[in-house]
Amino acid sequence: MGRMTTIEEITSSILGDKYYKIHHKSGLTIYVYPKDGFKSTYALFGAKYGSINTTFQKENGETVTVPDGIAHYLEHKLFESEDGDAFAKYAKTGASANAYTSFDKTCYLFSCADNFEKSLQILLEFVQDPYFTDETVQKEQGIIGQEIRMYDDDPNWRVMFNLLGAMYHNHPVKIDIAGTVESIAEITPQKLYDCYNGFYNLHNMALTIVGGKAQPESIIAMADKYLKDAPKKDVHSTFPAEPETVVKDYVEQKFPVTVPLFHLGFKENMQKERLTDKEMAESEILLFAMASGSSELYRTLEEQELINNTFDYEHFEGPCYSSVFFGGESKNPKKVAEIIRAYIDNLLVTGVSEKDFKIAKRAVYGADIFSFNRNESIAGILMECDFSDRELFHYLECIKNTTLDDVNRRLHQQFNSNHSALSVILPLNNA
């Protein structure tokens, strides 16, 4: 292929840490973050491919739409090779292995204290070695069907997907990650190969390694040995146009719960695929100022006994979508929504105060420093950064450099009460 492997060293003066970004000749981008003195090492091998990538162009130019839940199904099936199951191989190294599928990525991981090289070999080999037959695909329907039904019984999961259904007209983020018992019944080996061949090419993937054995030289040697050179392929997912409005502003479901649950979402009008580091940092500070335990909003809701310590908020962002969620348990979700909407409408007029901003900035900065404690969290954020064109250490600088004006500008981009929806789970006997 004639490509060369190149290495960039990226350092943080704030943390005194560094990592290496390796552009491997195979096409894969590899991040290596050494953690001196750590006993364990964590590796994450991911494809920029999740539940929302249901419509895409195949190599021959043909546009296909695949069944809902196929990315997650593929994740389960990839563990099987002709010579056995990856878990059985990891059992011989002692590594703790797993995988997960989210809206926009599929990741395979392990963490180990001993036998790092052997475990990395297993990871690189099985992810590059699909093996799907009618029989093995058929067999998985039972287990995944049960996983789907387990989530059907999870009110926290339902309250969120009901909200996404109320907020998004067309974007596939509204579809359950695992699909439905019906949709997964349509999955065939050929469809799995179509998805695999499209998205699991090294140019559309990243490998992040963090821990005591994260050393660039040895990892490049392993990559040279186990990565199969891949021709550069552009895989193109298409997302239908999404209006800025919501589908409906209220949705409820009766459920066997004792305490009602709610999720209130505010939809941002996304004009581009992903937000920048700077915008993400501004949002994090903004939301802390608005709704953390240090905020007026939290105090008001708690004093009126409308929320409890399950109350939380989240910036939910991915390819072509960005929303803010407030959620938790409440005896009166409609009242909570009314108060939050009124609070935001008022905030849009007054703006966040200097005092609230300063406290929020320090707290968010501290929280971000904390996230560098764990191998697992660094590896996950490095992967997210690669897929969204952001940079780990730059994000911390962005937090440090954010101004009150930035946060108030972001407030206006992110919030419009007319584009919000409330999802509620009510107890069955609730009249």
Partner 1 sequence: MNGINRKSVATGVYFNSIKETRFKSVKISVTMIVPLEEKTAPSYALLPSVLTYSCEKYPDTTALNRALSHLYGAGIGGYCRKMGESLGVTLTIAGIDDRYTMDNEKISTELVNMLCEIIFNPKLENSAFCQKDFDQCKRQLLEAIEGEFNDKRGYAISQMVSEMCNDEKYGIKRYGSKEAVENLTVEDLYQAWKNILVCSRVEVMMIGSSDTTLAENIITEKFSACERTLPEIYTEIRKDISEIKTKYESSDIAQAKLVMGFRTSTAQPNDNTLPMSLTVAILGGTPSSKFFLNIREKLSLCYYCAARYDKLKGIVIVDSGVEKENIEKTIAEVKNQLEQMKQGNITDFEIQAAKLAIINGYKSVQDTVSGMESWYIGQMLDKKILTVDECVDILNNVDKETIISLANTIKLDTIYLLQPSEKAKEEN
Footprint of partner 1 on 400-419 (CB under 8 A): 400
Residue 39 CB, shortest distance to partner 1, in Å, is 5
Residue 363 as a binder of partner 1 (CB under 8 A): the answer is: yes
- Considering only the stretches 190-198, 215-223, 292-300, 410-418, report the one whose residues sit in contact with partner 1 under the rule CB under 8 A: 292-300
Name residues contacting partner 1, limited to 208-237 (CB under 8 A): 211
Residue 406 CB, shortest distance to partner 1, in Å, is 17
At CA 295, angle to CA 271 and CA 345, rounded to 5? 50
Q: Are 136 and 16 in contact (CB under 8 A)?
A: no
Name residues contacting partner 1, limited to 66-95 (CB under 8 A): 85, 87-88, 90-95
Residue 257 as a binder of partner 1 (CB under 8 A): the answer is: yes
222/407 Cα distance (integer angstroms): 44
Q: Tell me the angle at which helices 404-414 and 277-291 cross, rounded to the nearest 10 degrees.
A: 90
351/345 Cα distance (integer angstroms): 10
**E strand or H helix that includes residue 122:** helix 116-127
Residue 138 as a binder of partner 1 (CB under 8 A): the answer is: no
Dihedral sign for Cα 126, 129, 131, 132, please.
positive
What stretches of 153-215 show up as alpha helix (H) in DSSP?
Answer: 155-167, 181-184, 189-199
- Residue listed under structure tokens 């404690």: 373
Q: Which is nearer to partner 1, 117 or 239 (CB)?
A: 117
Close Cβ partners of 221 (under 8 Å, ≥ 6 residues apart): none
Name residues contacting partner 1, limited to 109-128 (CB under 8 A): 111-114
**E strand or H helix that includes residue 251:** strand 250-255
149/146 Cα distance (integer angstroms): 5
Residue 169 as a binder of partner 1 (CB under 8 A): the answer is: no
Please indicate whether residue 314 is annotated as part of the active site: no
Residue 265 as a binder of partner 1 (CB under 8 A): the answer is: no
Select which of 75, 279, 282, 384 is catalytic.
Answer: 75
- Please give the structure tokens belonging to residue 388: 């969204």
Residue 323 as a binder of partner 1 (CB under 8 A): the answer is: no
Residue 149 as a binder of partner 1 (CB under 8 A): the answer is: yes
Q: Which residue among 6, 190, 238, 373 contacts partner 1 (CB under 8 A)?
A: 373
Name residues contacting partner 1, limited to 23-52 (CB under 8 A): 35-40
Residue 33 CB, shortest distance to partner 1, in Å, is 13
Q: What are phi and psi of 41, to 5 degrees?
A: -135, 140
**E strand or H helix that includes residue 199:** helix 189-199
Q: Which is nearer to partner 1, 233 or 374 (CB)?
A: 374
Residue 131 as a binder of partner 1 (CB under 8 A): the answer is: no
Q: Which is nearer to partner 1, 55 or 376 (CB)?
A: 376
Residue 294 as a binder of partner 1 (CB under 8 A): the answer is: yes
Residue 365 as a binder of partner 1 (CB under 8 A): the answer is: yes
Residues annotated catalytic, as ranges: 75
